[in-house]
Amino acid sequence: MSKGKNSEAVRVVVRCRPFSKKEELSACENILEVDDKLGQITIRNPKAPPDEPMKVFTFDAVYGWTSTQRDVYDEVIRPLVESVLHGFNGTIFAYGQTGTGKTYTMQGVSNDPDKRGVIPNSFQHIFTQISRTQNQKYLVRSSYLEIYQEEIRDLLCKDNNKKLELKESPDFGIYVKTCLLS
């Protein structure tokens, strides 16, 4: 497993958040081990007998609770943004239960450069590159969709309570009709 492997069409990356204050105060037990070198997460069933093997899952990359926004951006997102700047499409899909850190990873803390997330770092990267380029035109399109309980909402749309639908066409394939495409 190599974190630098960029030739795959889809990469699955896991980021594990640290315990919340509530979890620390409740003295929650950590049943997770992260091996970032092997790209593995090991989970121990706390109610299992001691001889039961732990479950091991392997991903393209894993990041533990000490990982930074910059680590994730530089190692995972930057290569994707670079390929977008060369004309390829790119998608970042954050998935997980409520409270697992998706919003923090994607948005972060906007007024703290060390805690800025994927979205502000990507926009800064893209627009810095555009500002440095001469004799080249760029068309920048972005969508920010939330899929929750089988409903799709465009978070960049003024009316983001409007439920969107998946569409299919011979020209575009499967797509979501967003505010930009309306």
For the chain, give the mean pLDDT: 88
What is this structure's pTM? 0.81
Q: Does the structure show a pLDDT above 50 at 18?
A: yes
Residue 17 pLDDT: 93
Residues at the annotated binding site?
96-103
User: For residue 62, what are the contacts with CB-CB under 8 A and spacing of at least 6?
Assistant: 13, 14, 15, 16, 34, 35, 36, 39, 40, 41
CA distance 16 to 101: 8
Residue 8 pLDDT: 62
Residues at the annotated binding site for ATP?
96-103
